[in-house]
Each structure stands twice: as C-alpha cells, then as structure tokens.
Amino acid sequence: MSNPFQLDWLVQAGVLALLCGLAAYLAQRGIGSFNDGVRPLLPELYKGSITRRELAARSYRLSIGFVLSLGISYALAFEMLNPWLLFLPADVIGVYAARGRTAAWLGGLWGAMMSAFLQWMPSMVHELPISMTMPLQELYLPVLLALCMVPFLAIQKQFGWKRLVISLVIGLGASLLLAFTGQQWLRGLDVLQLFSISMMLSGTLLHMALAAYQDRKGRAGREAMAAQMLLMHEEPYRKLKRSIPLYMLLGGLLALSVHLHWLGGTEVSIPLLYDAWQDEAPSSVWLASIAAAEWMRAVSFVPLLVMTALTTGAYGIAGLTMVLPIGYLAPNPVLAVLIGMGVIAVEVLLLTRIVKLLYQYPTIRESTDYLRSSLHTMMELGVFIGSVLAVVKLSAAPYSPAALFIFMLLYAVNEAAGKPIMRIAIGPVGVIMTALLLNGMAVLGW
Amino acid sequence: MLRFAVAGLNKEQLAQAIKAAGGNRVSVIATSDMEAAMLVKTSQADYYLGACNTGGGAALAMAIGILGITRCATIASNGVLPDAAAIREHIDAGVVAFGVTVESIEAAATLVTQILIEQQG
C-alpha cells in the first residue's frame, strides 16, 4: 500500500499501539468496548456478578469467529486493517487484565503487532506471479450499486409496497435528476457516485421520515415516559461525560489511522476504499459516496450504541462510527485528528438528545433494525457478485475454468459445513484462496 | 402455547422459522429488541430469540441489559453450529433469551422450538 506521507514504521507502530492500548484500557476500566455484546456486561463486572475471566472467555467466544473470518480475510484481501481485527482482541485483553496499566501495555503490544502485519502483508501479496490487486478492485461497482438499494429495501420490508413506490418516485427521481444535471460538470464514474450519494441519503431520510410520521400521534404520553427513562440514564451519562477526553483521543487516532490508509472503515466502506485508494487522487465526489455509505451504516447502529452506552456508561470504541469517514474527507493529518476529536465530543454531548428522540419516536428504533437487515442482505449480494467478477478477472487463460471451479467448490464446502465463514466474507476468502491456488499452479508450471 | 418474541437482523425470517417448526403450538411476535426483551420480562412472552452477525452482540445486548446475563445465552456464533445438548443445558439453567448468527437462523430457531415443544410434552 502506498503511504502518502512516507511515515516511518515506528510512527505507525506507535500510533496503532496507542490506539489499541487505549481501547484495551477503556475496556479494563469499564468505560468502553467495541463489541456490542460486551458493553452491557461491563457494569456486571464492577457489580461482581461476573468475573474478569468469565467475561474474557465470553468476549473471546463472541469475537473469535468474527476475527478469523471477517477480520483476517478483509485485511488480507484489501490490504488495510479493520476495526474487528484491532478492537475485538483489545476488548478481550481489557476485560481480562486486572490492572489498567497491564491492559494498556498488552493492548499496545497488539497494536504494534498489527502494524507489523500491515508492513509485511503488501510485500507478500505483491510478490505473487498472479496479482490479486486488480481483480479485487472489481468489488467496487457491485458494492456501491447494492448500497443504493439498501434504504429502499428497508422501506419495503417495514412499510410495504405502496410506501416503497412513493419513496422510489421521490428518491430515485431526485437522484436521477441530480445525476443528469451532474453530467454537465462531472466526468465518468463521478456521475454514478453522485447518484449513489443521493440514493443513500434520500432513501435513509425518507425511511426515517416515514417512521417519524407513523409516530406522530401519542407523543405527549411518550414524552412523560422519556423524561422518566432519562432520569435512569443520568448516572451513566455523567460517567460518559467524565471520559470524554479519552474518547476524543480515540476519535483523533482513529481518523488519523484512516487518513494514512492504515485502517479502513467497516465492511461497507473497505471494499470501496480499496478501489479509491489505488487512485493517486480520488475525486471528492468519490470519497463522499464512500462516506455516505459509512454514515448510512452508522445510522442503522445508532439506537443500539446510544442505548447500551446510556445504560452502562461505556461508549463504543469507534463511537457511533461517524468518525471513520473523517479520515478520508479531511485534507491533512492535523485536520483529521482535530475533526475526529470534535466529532466524538459532539456525539457524546448529543447522546441524551438522541435517546430522547428515540423514546419519542419508537418506530425509528425499529426502522434501524430493518436498515441493518437490508444492509446485510445487499452487502452479501454486492460483495459476492464483486468476488465472482474478481475470480473471472483473476483467471486469465489457461486457468479460467479452474478458477471458477475452485471458487465454487470453496463456496459449496462452506455451505456444507454450516457456513463457518460468514456469507459476507466467503467471497473475498474465496478470491484469496483461489488466487493462492492459481499462484501455486503457476509456480509449479501446470 | 409457547410465546416467542423475536428481534434483531432478519427477524421475519426468524419468526417464520419458529412458526414452521412449531406450527399451531407457538405464537411469534417480531418487534424491536427492547420491546421483545420487555415482553419476556413482563411474562407476556416466554422466550426471546435474536439474530446478529456474531450471535451475541446486537442480538443480545438489550436482552442482557433488561433480563440479566444469567438468562441470556448465545447458541450459535461464527463457526459454531447450534447444538441440542447445549441448548437443553441452557434451558434447564433458566435461560430465556437466545442469540444466534444470521447464518444459523433457520437451524437454530428450528432446534430451539423443537426442544421447547418436546420439553413441554
């Protein structure tokens, strides 16, 4: 991976060590975790109803499959780190460590190891006779197009066909109009990217508006309940506010790591960033379309993160994940750090307002469930189609039938074994394995 | 009649799998995770099932908060298939909320429903 600033390996190791060390420290103190399943258990740790060993074992069991199938395969395929690989182990280290200092050191060690992984990986990938880099860029288009449909699929699932048609007329209509006028001043793929931004944003807004409309009656009654619930959130919120400086530091480091191309975003943005970052200077519309996708995903997780944070006093390691796109939107590292810190601060300060809104509009909370389900469905499709295209591109003659055969065989084995590798990861895993086998065949001269 | 409340990713699929396995001996309501857990807490439902990517994150987060950790269990995670013996053990230990991965919705929901019906006699 080309590093735009030619930073020393030591700096990279230092920043990633600080990032993971801080994440592990937060988990140890019970004030932050990446894993949504660990956060509700952090207060239990301090109440003494669960031991550190038990929680670490539980946390390990929850994340090991995720790290092995999604974390490692995405890192190998797209040559950048991801939050699962960095922070799920940091959670385990944090909840296990008896002292904050131990957690910070061990977490830091993990971060430095991840830096070593990042250094070693590209040299390994690029020395292969059959390159994987070009083929994996094929994921870009199918993933972006799949993402355009996410909010509309969610609207159909939650509100039915009639509302979908109305939303499509508005959302698709506006997006097409925008793309059409955009042709005057934009070139090539930028028009499509502008269209996708408009589809994702207008679709998500329409979906949330439909949910709010559903809840227009009976708000007064819920207002009273919201006030009562807010009292319950007071103590955790005070705890969250006390930790703001640490969360801000995390936000700054996260944005910096993304800015320097060490860390991608989530499963949604990683395949898109991989393609964009191969370009010397990706256009701002291009990067904005990736940010729009990441923010759409972030919206779908907001209620879960906000609720768990306000009941436990522990925040998400990447906050509401809104901070990740700051890395590629910010023009330079200094601004990335500063804006990253600011975004996290604003998030935490807005938490009680967001939760109040969620109590007043309960349907919005449910809408995000549908948004997450649709995101999952469409990402599976987009990544899979992209992976098939990658295999086809990977398999220059004389290997083309062999490549497709190997890929399908791997898919079949995974299905037969009860899908140990998640559907969203099986495509990239299949491409990597196929590429390795083809490279083996090429070396052996078959 | 066994009353299920389901939530999380692809909850319609989860509800359908329970109905398919339990027929007229089950009722299923698909709702938000918070509401589903509250239904179980207030005895308006007997069991909670939720799905997410890990089987223990978003699927159980609110259930753990509302019902407590001892009454929640992940029965299918990435690379770990639902197992009848383990599920029976959880039920005997008083677990009422189950988390599964999206990949194992069909298998896990069918197994849990069958075991619960069988235990009901």
| pLDDT for the residue A397 | 58
Chain-chain contact of B61 with A50 (C-beta, under 8 angstroms): no
Look up the CATH architecture of domain B2-120: 3-Layer(aba) Sandwich (3.40)
In this prediction, the answer to ipTM > 0.85 reads: yes
Chain-chain contact of B77 with A62 (C-beta, under 8 angstroms): yes
Is the CB of residue A37 less than 8 Å from the CB of residue B54? yes
Alpha carbons B27 and B25: distance in angstroms, whole number: 7
Of the partner residues A40, A65, A376, the one whose CB lies closest to the CB of residue B9 = A376
A301 contacts in B (CB within 8 Å)? 58
Structural domain spans, chain B: 2-120
Using the predicted structure, report yes or no on whether residue A7 has a pLDDT greater than 70.
no
Q: Is B62 on the interface with A (CB under 8 A)?
A: yes
Across A72-76, A107-111, A387-391, the highest mean pLDDT is recorded for A107-111
**Would you call A303 exposed, middle or buried from its count of C-beta atoms within 10 A (0-12, 13-18, 19+)?**
buried
Alpha carbons A105 and A200: distance in angstroms, whole number: 41
Rounded average pLDDT over A233-247: 96
Amino acid letter for position B104: S
Rounded average pLDDT over A253-272: 96
DSSP secondary structure string, A33-60?
ESSTTTGGGHHHHHHTSS-HHHHHHHHH
pLDDT tens for residues A26-56? 999 999 999 998 999 998 888 888 899 999 9
Mutate to test the interface with A, among B103, B106, B110, B111 (most CBs of A within 10 A): B103
Is the CB of residue A76 less than 8 Å from the CB of residue A122? no
Query: Angle at Cα A416 formed by Cα A64 and Cα B10, nearest 5°?
Result: 65
Phi, psi at B76, each rounded to 5°: -150, 120
Q: Least CA distance to A426: which residue of chain B?
A: B103
**What distance in Å separates residue B120's CA from the closest CA in chain A?**
28
Of the partner residues A49, A65, A311, the one whose CB lies closest to the CB of residue B65 = A311
Chain-chain contact of A308 with B61 (C-beta, under 8 angstroms): yes
Rounded average pLDDT over A161-179: 96
**What distance in Å separates residue A304's CA from the closest CA in chain B?**
7
Rounded average pLDDT over A378-397: 90
Rounded average pLDDT over A156-178: 96
Q: Is B16 on the interface with A (CB under 8 A)?
A: no
Using the predicted structure, report yes or no on whether residue A6 has a pLDDT greater than 70.
no
Q: What is the pLDDT of chain A when averaged over all its residues?
A: 92
Q: Minimal CA–CA distance to A424: which of A82, A188, A99, A131?
A: A82
Using the predicted structure, report yes or no on whether residue A404 has a pLDDT greater than 80.
yes
Alpha carbons B58 and A372: distance in angstroms, whole number: 11
**A294 falls in which pLDDT band (50, 70, 90)?**
very high
b or e along A314-341 (b: 16 or more beta carbons within 10 Å of the residue's beta carbon)? bbbbbbbbbbbbbbbbbeebeebbbbbb
Using the predicted structure, report yes or no on whether residue A412 has a pLDDT greater than 80.
yes
**What distance in Å separates residue A131's CA from the closest CA in chain B?**
29
Alpha carbons A425 and A419: distance in angstroms, whole number: 10
Chain-chain contact of A66 with B10 (C-beta, under 8 angstroms): no
Using the predicted structure, report yes or no on whether residue A272 has a pLDDT greater than 90.
yes
Rounded-to-5 percentages of helix, strand, coil across chain A = 80, 0, 20
Q: Minimal CA–CA distance to A322: which of A353, A347, A286?
A: A347
Using the predicted structure, report yes or no on whether residue A337 has a pLDDT greater than 70.
yes
Rounded average pLDDT over A317-329: 97
* DSSP annotation of A324: T
Strand ranges inside A259-404, DSSP E: 315-316
Using the predicted structure, report yes or no on whether residue A4 has a pLDDT greater than 60.
no
**Would you call A55 exposed, middle or buried from its count of C-beta atoms within 10 A (0-12, 13-18, 19+)?**
buried
Chain-chain contact of B10 with A376 (C-beta, under 8 angstroms): yes
Q: Is B107 on the interface with A (CB under 8 A)?
A: yes
B65 contacts in A (CB within 8 Å)? 40, 307-308, 311-312
**B101 falls in which pLDDT band (50, 70, 90)?**
very high
**A1 falls in which pLDDT band (50, 70, 90)?**
very low
Least confident of A83-92, A113-122, A373-382: A113-122
Rounded average pLDDT over A133-149: 93
- Sequence-separated (6 or more) residues with CB below 8 Å from residue A282: A276
Query: Can you give the pTM of this predicted structure?
Result: 0.92
Chain-chain contact of B62 with A308 (C-beta, under 8 angstroms): yes
What is the torsion angle, in degrees rounded to the nearest 10, for the CA atoms of residue A143, residue A148, residue A151 and residue A155? -120
Chain-chain contact of B34 with A365 (C-beta, under 8 angstroms): yes
Amino acid letter for position B46: D
Alpha carbons A432 and B88: distance in angstroms, whole number: 39
**A2 falls in which pLDDT band (50, 70, 90)?**
very low
